[in-house]
Amino acid sequence: MSARPGRVPTGVSGHMRVPSDSEELSLLLVEDDRADAIIVEELIADASFDTRVIWAESMAAAEAEIARARPDCILLDLHLHDTDGINGLTRIAKQDSTIPVVVLTGLNDEHVGVSAVASGAQDYLVKGRVDPEMLRRAVRYAIERKRAELTAVDLHASQLRARENARLERGLLPSPLLLDDPGVEIVTQYRPSRENALLGGDFYDFVQTPDRTVHVMIGDVAGHGPDEAALGVALRIAWRALTFANLRGSDRMRELERILRAERAGKGIFATVLSLAIPPHGSHISAVRAGHPGMLLHGGGTVDWVEPPGGPALGLRAGQWAPQQVELPEGKGLVLLTDGLFEGHIGRGNERLGEAGLLELARSFAALPGREFVDALIDAVEERAQSHGGIGDDIAVVRVERTQT
């Protein structure tokens, strides 16, 4: 379930441009002494590498220049009239921590340069001891060191995300708890909204009680992030426990509502849930819907939209969630889904697929068997969203069909 995206803060690791030897470098020189600035500009000119130098005579001017156009590297004098010492380096990092920095120190301040490198600068140069080739190498090495540093940070973040996803997957997308020969065939699929992203608040579960009734549930917590994912895990585990405790219909939803209100991080967080009870015999099943989208009825070369009456989403207001009878004919399966499957853009401006568009798309794959139908449908939705950077919300799909006995 989509939430408003947060602002991406400055000063975080990300992709940086690494110019080749044949490309022009943009170099921001932050130096309040014009005479020293001229000396550095002459060294750059003598170094015989293609460089465009922008001079900033204060830290305030440098910050304005960084905001206007990101330079490939910064040469920073540590003694400016509007900042001094490591504070200048800190101000640059707050604005954009991906820019490599080489600090300039005086003959008597070499220890300050060492401290600057320890605080995040890529290198330091001592004024009066610099020749053109030394300057050229320092700039090039600074860019490469920064690129390697950011690559290492991204790799570590990817490894952390992978470990966290593994933990979340065990909680949000559990293994089935079914009896031998359960009498149903269940297909599941989950796609995160972005590659390498943390799993969001989509969750599902399916269990079979001793009377051989199969209970299937899918849910979606509004928003993305660790709080929403943790709440999804709590609701999924609670649903399973309440099901085995023989709570059904409104009673089970009321308990889930209480748990959500106790566990959620903020009052505005809510969740939608759709729960099915499939008895071992008969053509009808029981459905309880709390603000969740409807389902697709797929099989026999046809696809239809099924949306039984329901109550409000959990966490919005108190309500009644009366069970509704839904027909599940032989040879057909019900496809439970989260709204990420139909809320994405489809390549024409801001137009979204919508439920009607999803049904039309699903009917183009109606002849496919269960698993192939689910995969083809999700792939088609993702393909249509590519022009907008991919799907904007997680997608969870569960297809359940009775098997022949």
Query: How far does Cα 145 stand from its chain's mean position?
Result: 28
Task: In the chain, list all ranges with CATH 3.60.40.10.
Answer: 173-402
DSSP assignments along 8-26, one per residue: PPSSS--------TTSPEE
Q: Is the pLDDT of residue 384 over 60?
A: yes
Query: According to the model, what pLDDT value does residue 167 have?
Result: 63
Higher-confidence residue of 65 and 159: namely 65
Query: According to the model, what pLDDT value does residue 284 have?
Result: 94
Mean per-residue pLDDT for 276-283?
Answer: 94
The superfamily in CATH containing domain 173-402 is: PPM-type phosphatase domain (3.60.40.10)
Would you state the CATH architecture of domain 25-152?
A: 3-Layer(aba) Sandwich (3.40)
- Our CA dihedral for 149, 123, 115, 9, rounded to 10 degrees, sits at -40
Contact 250, 322 (CB under 8 A): yes
Mean per-residue pLDDT for 201-221?
Answer: 94
Any idea which residue has 């009066």 for tokens? Answer: 128
Query: According to the model, what pLDDT value does residue 9 have?
Result: 35
Task: In the chain, list all ranges with CATH 3.40.50.2300.
Answer: 25-152
Average pLDDT, the chain: 86
Query: According to the model, what pLDDT value does residue 347 have?
Result: 67
Supply the angle between the helices 86-95 and 59-68 in degrees, to the nearest 10.
Answer: 20
Query: According to the model, what pLDDT value does residue 197 have?
Result: 55
Q: Is the pLDDT of residue 402 over 90?
A: yes
Mean per-residue pLDDT for 359-377?
Answer: 96
Mean per-residue pLDDT for 78-89?
Answer: 87
Query: According to the model, what pLDDT value does residue 169 have?
Result: 60
Any idea which residue has 């005479």 for tokens? Answer: 35
DSSP assignments along 42-109, one per residue: HHHHHTTS-EEEEEESSHHHHHHHHHHS--SEEEEESEETTEETHHHHHHHHHH-TTS-EEEEE-TT-
Mean per-residue pLDDT for 225-251?
Answer: 90
Q: Is the pLDDT of residue 118 over 80?
A: yes
Could you tell me the pTM of the whole model?
Answer: 0.63
Provide the strand spans (E) within 240-371. Answer: 271-278, 284-290, 295-299, 302-306, 324-327, 333-337
Assign 227 a pLDDT band (cuts: 50, 70, 90): confident
Query: According to the model, what pLDDT value does residue 214 have?
Result: 97
Query: According to the model, what pLDDT value does residue 346 have?
Result: 74
Higher-confidence residue of 115 and 2: namely 115
Query: According to the model, what pLDDT value does residue 170 have?
Result: 60
Q: Is the pLDDT of residue 91 over 90?
A: yes
Query: According to the model, what pLDDT value does residue 398 have?
Result: 96
Q: Is the pLDDT of residue 204 over 70?
A: yes
CA quadruple 236, 238, 241, 242: dihedral sign: negative
Q: How many CB atoms lie within 10 A of CB 383?
A: 12
d(CA 333, CA 371): 11
Query: According to the model, what pLDDT value does residue 66 have?
Result: 93
d(CA 189, CA 398): 7
Mean per-residue pLDDT for 235-255?
Answer: 94
Assign 20 a pLDDT band (cuts: 50, 70, 90): low
